[in-house]
Chains A and B, each alone.
Chain A
Amino acid sequence: MTAQDGTSAFGYVQNRVDLALIAEMIAPDARVLDVGCGDGQLLALLARTKNVDGRGIELSQEGVNACVARGLSVIQGDADADLHDYPDDAFDYVILSQTIQATRNPREVLTQMKRIGRHVVVSFPNFGNWRVRLQLLWSGRMPVTRTLGHDWYDTPNIHLCTVRDFVSLCDDLGLNIDDAVSVIGNRARRVGRPGSIDNLTAEDAVLLLSRKS
Chain B
Amino acid sequence: MGPSREGPEGAAQAAIHQVNRAMSDKRQLQAEPDTDEAARRLNAVAAEMHFGPETPLALDSGVSLAPFTIAYQTYGTLNAAKSNVVLVCHALTLDQYVASRNPITGKPGGWWPAMVGPGLPLDTDRYFIICPNVIGGCMGTTGPKDIDPKTGKPYGLSFPVITIGDMVRAQAMLLDRLGIADIFCVVGGSMGGMQVLQWAAAYPERVFSAIPLATAARHSAQNIAFHEVGRQAIMADPDWRAGNYLAEGTTPSKGLAVARMAAHITYLSEAALHRKFGRNLQDREKITYGFDADFQIESYLRHQGLTFVDRFDANSYLYITRAMDYFDLAADYGGVLANAFKGTKTRFCVVSFTSDWLFPTSESRQTVHALNAAAANVSFIEIATDKGHDAFLLDEPEMFATLGGFIGSAARRRGLVK
For residue A25, give the distance in angstroms from its CB to the closest CB of chain B.
22
CB contacts (< 8 Å) of A76 on chain B: these are: 380-382
A74 touching B405, Cβ below 8 Å: no
For residue B413, give the distance in angstroms from its CB to the closest CB of chain A.
7
In the complex, A70 has a CB within 8 A of chain B: yes
CB contacts (< 8 Å) of A65 on chain B: these are: 381, 398, 401-402, 405
Known: A61-B382, A61-B384, A73-B347. A68 touches B372 (CB 8 A): no
In the complex, B51 has a CB within 8 A of chain A: no
In the complex, A64 has a CB within 8 A of chain B: yes
CB contacts (< 8 Å) of B380 on chain A: these are: 64, 74-77
Number of A-B contacts (CB under 8 A): 70
In the complex, A184 has a CB within 8 A of chain B: no
A68 touching B405, Cβ below 8 Å: yes
In the complex, B264 has a CB within 8 A of chain A: no
Which residues from 186 to 227 on chain B have a C-beta closer than 8 Å to any C-beta of chain A? none
Known: A65-B398, A87-B373. A71 touches B409 (CB 8 A): yes
Give the residue of B350, B373, B381, B402 whose beta carbon is less than 8 angstroms from that of A85. Answer: B373
In the complex, B412 has a CB within 8 A of chain A: yes
In the complex, B280 has a CB within 8 A of chain A: no
In the complex, A67 has a CB within 8 A of chain B: yes
How many of A's residues come within 8 Å of B, CB to CB?
20
CA distance A31 to B375 in the complex (A): 10
Which residues from 351 to 392 on chain B have a C-beta closer than 8 Å to any C-beta of chain A? 365, 368-369, 372-373, 375, 377-384
In the complex, A90 has a CB within 8 A of chain B: yes
Known: A73-B347, A86-B373, A90-B372. A64 touches B379 (CB 8 A): yes
Known: A65-B405, A68-B406, A69-B405. A74 touches B379 (CB 8 A): yes
Which residues from 35 to 86 on chain A have a C-beta closer than 8 Å to any C-beta of chain B? 55, 61, 64-65, 67-77, 85-86
CA distance A64 to B351 in the complex (A): 11
CB contacts (< 8 Å) of B401 on chain A: these are: 65, 69
CB contacts (< 8 Å) of B383 on chain A: these are: 61
A69 touching B381, Cβ below 8 Å: no
CA distance A118 to B384 in the complex (A): 35
CB contacts (< 8 Å) of A61 on chain B: these are: 381-384, 398
For residue A80, give the distance in angstroms from its CB to the closest CB of chain B.
14
CA distance A64 to B398 in the complex (A): 11
CB contacts (< 8 Å) of A64 on chain B: these are: 379-381, 402
CB contacts (< 8 Å) of A71 on chain B: these are: 405, 409-410, 412-413
For residue A117, give the distance in angstroms from its CB to the closest CB of chain B.
13
Known: A61-B381, A61-B398, A75-B378. A68 touches B349 (CB 8 A): yes
Q: Which residue of B lies closest to A70 (CB)?
A: B409
CA distance A72 to B369 in the complex (A): 17
CA distance A17 to B238 in the complex (A): 75
How many of B's residues come within 8 Å of A, CB to CB?
28
For residue B222, give the distance in angstroms from its CB to the closest CB of chain A.
23
CA distance A74 to B349 in the complex (A): 9
CB contacts (< 8 Å) of A68 on chain B: these are: 349, 379, 381, 402, 405-406, 409
CA distance A67 to B380 in the complex (A): 11
In the complex, B408 has a CB within 8 A of chain A: yes
In the complex, B404 has a CB within 8 A of chain A: yes
Which of B373, B379, B398 has the largest count of A CB atoms less than 10 A from its CB? Answer: B379
Chain B proximity mask over A107-137: 1 for CB below 8 Å, otherwise 0 = 0000000000000000000000000000000
CB contacts (< 8 Å) of A74 on chain B: these are: 379-380
CA distance A61 to B396 in the complex (A): 13
Chain A proximity mask over B293-315: 1 for CB below 8 Å, otherwise 0 = 00000000000000000000000
For residue A3, give the distance in angstroms from its CB to the closest CB of chain B.
11
Which residues from 155 to 207 on chain A have a C-beta closer than 8 Å to any C-beta of chain B? none
For residue A78, give the distance in angstroms from its CB to the closest CB of chain B.
12
A69 touching B373, Cβ below 8 Å: no
Which of B349, B405, B413 has the largest count of A CB atoms less than 10 A from its CB? Answer: B405
CA distance A96 to B173 in the complex (A): 46
CB contacts (< 8 Å) of A31 on chain B: these are: 375
A90 touching B409, Cβ below 8 Å: no
Known: A70-B409, A75-B378, A76-B381. A85 touches B369 (CB 8 A): yes
B379 touching A67, Cβ below 8 Å: yes
For residue B374, give the distance in angstroms from its CB to the closest CB of chain A.
9
For residue A26, give the distance in angstroms from its CB to the closest CB of chain B.
18
Q: Which residue of B lies closest to A91 (CB)?
A: B375
For residue B403, give the distance in angstroms from its CB to the closest CB of chain A.
9
B378 touching A73, Cβ below 8 Å: yes
CB contacts (< 8 Å) of B375 on chain A: these are: 31, 90
Which of B381, B383, B384, B413 has the largest count of A CB atoms less than 10 A from its CB? Answer: B381
CB contacts (< 8 Å) of B402 on chain A: these are: 64-65, 68-69
For residue B215, give the distance in angstroms from its CB to the closest CB of chain A.
16
Chain B proximity mask over A15-31: 1 for CB below 8 Å, otherwise 0 = 00000000000000001
Closest A-B pairs by Cβ, 10 of them: A69-B405, A71-B409, A75-B380, A85-B369, A73-B377, A68-B405, A68-B379, A64-B381, A68-B406, A76-B381
Inter-chain pairs besides A73-B379, A74-B379, A85-B369, 17 sampled, C-beta below 8 Å: A55-B378, A61-B382, A61-B384, A64-B379, A64-B380, A64-B402, A65-B398, A69-B401, A69-B406, A70-B405, A73-B347, A74-B380, A75-B379, A75-B381, A77-B365, A85-B368, A90-B375
Residues of B within 8 A of A (CB): 347, 349-350, 365, 368-369, 372-373, 375, 377-384, 398, 401-402, 404-406, 408-410, 412-413
User: What are 17 A-to-B residue pairs whose CB atoms are below 8 Å?
Assistant: A31-B375, A55-B378, A61-B383, A61-B398, A64-B381, A65-B402, A67-B379, A68-B405, A69-B408, A71-B409, A73-B347, A73-B377, A75-B350, A76-B380, A76-B382, A77-B380, A86-B373
